[in-house]
Amino acid sequence: MRELLGSKIHRARVTDANLDYIGSITIDRDLMDRVDLWPYQKVAVVCLDTGVRLETYVIEGERGSGDICMNGAAAHLIKKNQIVIIIGYQFAEKPFPPKCILVDDNNKFVKNL
């Protein structure tokens, strides 16, 4: 069994960075559904502005809100208005096509990648 790319939200804009939270990344539920991310699933977050890469887990955000919020200690590393790639991995016995999307500046779906 190997760990493969399963989900990717490409070029999302961070809408908030909240230090006063236990931890995680809040993601609009519509975006989660499009790429099959689950609440509490581990994800990698890569900041295109700084090159920072970190791991955290997903918290479900309000559907249709466009929310991408860095919470807790991660808010020190990735700030509001920075552009990120959110990557979810899955274990599989053989290769499969990942669910990858591109979003606009308001974190609304543009197209499948």
The string of DSSP letters for 24-56 reads EEEEEHHHHHHHT--TT-EEEEEETTT--EEEE
CB atoms within 10 A of CB 104: 13
Residue 23 has pLDDT above 80, yes or no: no
Residue 31 has pLDDT above 90, yes or no: yes
pLDDT (0 to 100) of residue 21: 85
Active site residues: 24, 57
Over range 48-72, report the average pLDDT. 97
Residue 16 has pLDDT above 90, yes or no: yes
pLDDT (0 to 100) of residue 12: 98
Q: What confidence category does residue 59 fall into, taking pLDDT thresholds of 50, 70 and 90?
A: very high
- The domains of the chain are located at 2-112
What's this model's pTM, rounded to 2 decimal places? 0.95
The chain-wide mean pLDDT, for the chain, equals: 96
pLDDT (0 to 100) of residue 22: 76
Q: Which two structure tokens, joined as six digits, stand for 12?
A: 């999302």
Q: Give the span between the Cα atoms of 10 and 103, in whole angstroms.
A: 6
Domain 2-112: give its CATH architecture: Beta Barrel (2.40)
Over range 70-86, report the average pLDDT. 97
